[in-house]
Chain A
Amino acid sequence: MAGEWSLAVNDCSLYLNNVGVGSRFDGSYSAGSTSYGSCEPWNDWENYNATTKSNLKDFALVQMDSLKNFFFWTWKIGDSIETGKPVNPMWSYKLGLQEGWMPENPATDPEGACESVGSRFGVAISSTTLWQSTFSDWMTGGAATYTVVPTSSGNNWPPSVVSGSNSATFSLATIPSYAQTGSVITLPVANMTSSTKPTATVSIDGWENSADTDGWFTVSRKRILR
């Protein structure tokens, strides 16, 4: 499954690299860096012509055809405070749908897109690698037994030594740590008191496993000897 993909092939989007930070594509990200072109046409979605929109839609379709199971990032980008208009067109499915460069039926439209778009660019898809296997039962929670994490070498906690920078090592006793003596913090459950129907009766308390009674890692109070 692929999450968080977009139509972006560069970093021209507003504030993508941080608020007030520019783009690598046009060289504004750091002083003296190369510019590969202007970000302006990429950001100027209101003036995308029909060819541009058609190419963008093809790009969306081939990515969907390749990825098979995915979610696009993202449905919608907030409007710019300065202009009151949508920004970052490569990241907004809603804008793309409205303007005609995003597929209307992502479940069915991408079928065969790699082959048909590829052939238009003179790229032949000679074979497609599809994952043909099955998941092992432990991967999907269907096994009879599961690996117990070994406590000997390989995975051990707490670690016997902790590495610092410059390859320095510290034994656990010499670095700060918490004692597992506190009371747990439980996530609160929302109180459903709306007067509209239907109502909901809250039956959960935020803590599923009542046998989980270990202490909370917390600061242990120490006497300060004078």
Chain B
Amino acid sequence: MGYANAQRTLNIIRTVTEFLSQPEIKNVVPMFSVLNEPNIPVGIGMDHLQNFMAEVYTMVRNITGEGKGNGPIMTLHDGFMGLTQWQNFLRGSDRVFVSVEDRRGRERKSKDLSSFHRSQSDLSLHLLSLFSVR
């Protein structure tokens, strides 16, 4: 049912995008994250998710039109793969952001403050772009 569920998801994203693009709404909701935490490792696969997201982008911008002020920024989730896996995806496209997550607080024991700061600085390149603009 994976493909059929993807079609249903297109239905939903489309309806929400149509709503958010209305003049009275678009300044209140400037960004639409189209799919939260798709699970690539568990089964979707990077190829399928990227194909799907490319289709979502085409659909969204067909609805909104292109350029700033035309409907929401489109945010997609990295599928737990990390930012570097998405570096070359949809470059040159209109207002697409990538959302990544870091859950180190859950995975490790409590660290002393200084080592936590060092690990923060290791991440600095993509922490600064935690919502990375494509």
Q: Measuring CB to CB, which residues of chain A are less than 8 angstroms from any residue of chain B?
A: 1-4, 6, 8-11, 16-17, 24-25, 36-37, 55, 58-59, 62-63, 66-68, 114, 118, 121-123, 129-131, 135, 138-143, 146-147, 149, 155-159, 162-163, 165, 172, 175-178, 180, 184-187, 203-204, 206-209, 212, 216-217
Contacts and interface: CB of A to CB of B under 8 A. Distances in A.
A152 B95 CA distance: 23
Interface in B40-70: 43, 45, 47-48, 50-52, 54-55, 57-58, 61-64, 66-70
Contacts of B109: 10, 25, 36-37
22 contacts: A3-B99, A10-B109, A11-B106, A24-B107, A25-B109, A55-B113, A131-B129, A138-B93, A141-B67, A141-B95, A159-B3, A159-B51, A177-B4, A178-B8, A187-B15, A187-B16, A204-B22, A206-B18, A206-B22, A212-B62, A216-B11, A217-B10
Contacts, number: 176
A162 B54 contact: no
A17 B57 CA distance: 33
A209 B113 CA distance: 52
> DSSP class of A's interface residues: helix, strand, loop or mixed?
loop
Contact of A146 (B1, B16, B24, B66): B66
Given A141-B70, A147-B93, A3 B131 contact: yes
Q: Report which residue of B43, B71, B107, B113 has the largest number of chain A beta carbons within 10 angstroms of its beta carbon.
A: B113
B98 to A, nearest CB: 11
Contact of B18 (A58, A143, A207): A207
B105 A10 contact: yes
The 10 closest A-B pairs by CB, nearest first: A141-B68, A147-B92, A155-B54, A157-B55, A36-B109, A208-B21, A217-B7, A139-B133, A187-B19, A2-B130
A155 B50 contact: yes
A11 B105 CA distance: 6
B127 to A, nearest CB: 6
Interface in B65-92: 66-71, 73, 90-92
A141 B69 contact: yes
Nearest to A34: B109
B70 A59 contact: no
B120 interface: yes
B56 to A, nearest CB: 9
Nearest to B70: A141
B22 A25 contact: no
A130 B126 CA distance: 11
